[in-house]
Amino acid sequence: MAELVAALSLATDLGLGQPQEHVLRQTVIARRLAAAAGLPDEQQTAVFYVSLLAWVGCVSDSHELAAWFGDDLRLRADSYEVDKAGLPKVRFALSHVGEGTGSVRRLTMIGRFLTTGPGRVARSMLGHCQTTGDIAGRLGLGDRVGRALQQAFERWDGKGVPGICGGEHIDSAMRVVQIADDAEVFHRAYGVEAASEMLRSRRATEFDPALVDLFRGRAGELLDGLGEVDAWDTVISAGRDLGPELSEIAFTKVLRVFGDYADLKSPSWLGHSAGVAALAVGAASRLGLPAGEVTLVERAALVHDLGAIGVSAGVWDKPGPLSAADKERVRMHPYLTERTLARPARLAEIGALAAQHHERLDGSGYPHGVRGDALSLPARVIAAADAYHAMCEDRPNRAAFSTPDAASALRNEVAAGRLDGDAVNAVLAAAGHRVRRRPALPGGLTRREAEILVLMARGLSNKEMAERLSVSVRTVRSHVEHVYAKIGVSARGAAAMFAMRHGLVDTRIDV
């Protein structure tokens, strides 16, 4: 659980407009400060999870913030520079209202903001806390963590949001995390002295004065080596005993939470990740993929859009055509998914597959322009499922396709050489469309086993087949055993004769 929550914090970094591992470094600081303050073990455990999750709800209000301020990522990144209360808060907000619009429209928006904006922003911040609490609850992290997360925007002076508590009524874990969050940003950008001075300037207003004094007195120790430390290893090694080891079912359930989290980035995406996963699982099962690969497909489909959090909601919600710069940002989101899930190894395998959901067989996809045989059947299935599901959803720049029109558009992608025909047919069948059945393969072979047979007949080793199909050598070995058993032979030459006799090579099952 600790590893998964830490991975989710990397997605939060994207939503905050901060460099990767900001939240992890913040957590290192928070744990050091909690220990220096002598907090009991139970409270230090709460600090661990509160720090990793405190800002995870930032995605939930991206749509509203983008409507007022344009780039929600820039707004959040810039917000660290000010004490967010009173006139400084108002000046900061007004300096960002209507960014990227014409001067007349911006003046109009400023007028509207002065009338209704602060209340709406406050409600968005409340929504952030409620979303964070919901995620913590779904992850089973307990009431203590959930209660603290509701106080993310409270202040020591009582002028925060929702403004129902202040001072020592704010949970000690949240008071520690609030200091660690801003201190990490200022230390990274300006150094130890700047971080210490920022805390002094916000002492007894935004932050707990006793914790600020403690921090400033030991700033060098609390921030020591932070720029060189491997934040992931430091956080995880300290958190090995801070969460249960998950069952396979629970693991998938957590990734479902990740997918729902990504879908919060834009109102038009709600349910997209779970919908794509359902289609992909149905398609993968129809194609005869082994159970392990079907599970991998489901997990990758659930998290395929996690990197979209790193693109401004102002881009995703734009009603008109995207600019060239906007398109480049959009093309980066699969890569950001892969980077977010790069650690640990089990997530890295899922992230690598998820990152291929916009790749196309002819090399026209993104982010890497992968083509042909380099795209495994699971990757082709997820690409087709994502394309179909997206077509059937309303988007800011177009209405949803009817299901017949979406099916026709998907088949056109096959004809153009961009999507795989078998994957598309399987997705359409999973979506309830009538699909012309292909003749059954000889020997009861599945499509994947037929691929293995042809590659094996051409002399590829198990390792080479695994690399070609982006699966493990162990999976290939299992397929080979099944192929030999089904076709009743035990040598490559005999397998090659079977493949040619039944026309498997001529039908190019290998491409």
Output the domain CATH number for residue 353: 1.10.3210.10
Mark whether 21 and 87 lie in a shared domain. yes
- Which stretch of DSSP H or E encloses residue 296? helix 291-302
> Which of 348-357, 467-476, 485-494 tops mean pLDDT?
348-357
Residue 390 lies in a domain: yes
Mark whether 253 and 173 lie in a shared domain. no
Mark whether 370 and 450 lie in a shared domain. no
Is residue 239 pLDDT above 80, yes or no? no
- How many other C-beta atoms are found inside a 10 Å radius of the C-beta of residue 118? 13
Q: Are 59 and 15 in contact (CB under 8 A)?
A: yes
Mark whether 191 and 79 lie in a shared domain. yes
Mark whether 417 and 482 lie in a shared domain. no
Q: How many alpha carbons lie under 13 Å from residue 122 in its C-beta half-sphere?
A: 15
Residue 511 lies in a domain: no
Mark whether 255 and 383 lie in a shared domain. yes
Cα separation, 100 vs 79, whole angstroms: 18
Mark whether 56 and 202 lie in a shared domain. yes
> What value does the mean pLDDT of the chain take?
91
Question: What average pLDDT does this structure show over 178-192?
Answer: 97
The residues near 265 (Cβ < 8 Å, ≥ 6 apart) are 59, 62, 63, 305, 308, 309, 311, 313, 316
Q: Whole domain around residue 456: which residue ranges?
A: 442-501
State the total domains in the chain.
3
Last residue of a domain, one of 371, 395, 430: 430
292: its two tokens? 């392990």
Q: What is the CATH number of the domain that holds 466?
A: 1.10.10.10
Cα distance from N-terminal residue to C-terminal residue, the chain: 39
Would you give the distance in Å from CA 371 to the centre of its chain?
Answer: 24
Question: What average pLDDT does this structure show over 193-201?
Answer: 97
Cα separation, 147 vs 129, whole angstroms: 10
Mark whether 169 and 279 lie in a shared domain. no
For the chain, the C-alpha Rg in angstroms (whole number) is 26
The residues near 50 (Cβ < 8 Å, ≥ 6 apart) are 145, 148, 149, 171, 173, 174, 177
246: its two tokens? 């998950």
Mark whether 29 and 105 lie in a shared domain. yes
Predicted TM-score of the model (pTM): 0.81
Residue 508 lies in a domain: no
The least confident of 141-145, 177-181, 209-213 is: 141-145
Mark whether 342 and 398 lie in a shared domain. yes
Residue 377 lies in a domain: yes
Q: In the prediction, which pLDDT does 507 show?
A: 39
Mark whether 81 and 212 lie in a shared domain. yes
Q: In the prediction, which pLDDT does 423 show?
A: 95
| Residue 438 pLDDT grade (very low, low, confident, very high; cuts 50, 70, 90) | low
Q: Which residues make beta-bridge pairs with 146?
A: none
Residue 60 lies in a domain: yes
The least confident of 28-32, 63-67, 239-243, 380-384 is: 239-243
Question: What average pLDDT does this structure show over 93-115?
Answer: 88
Mark whether 285 and 168 lie in a shared domain. no
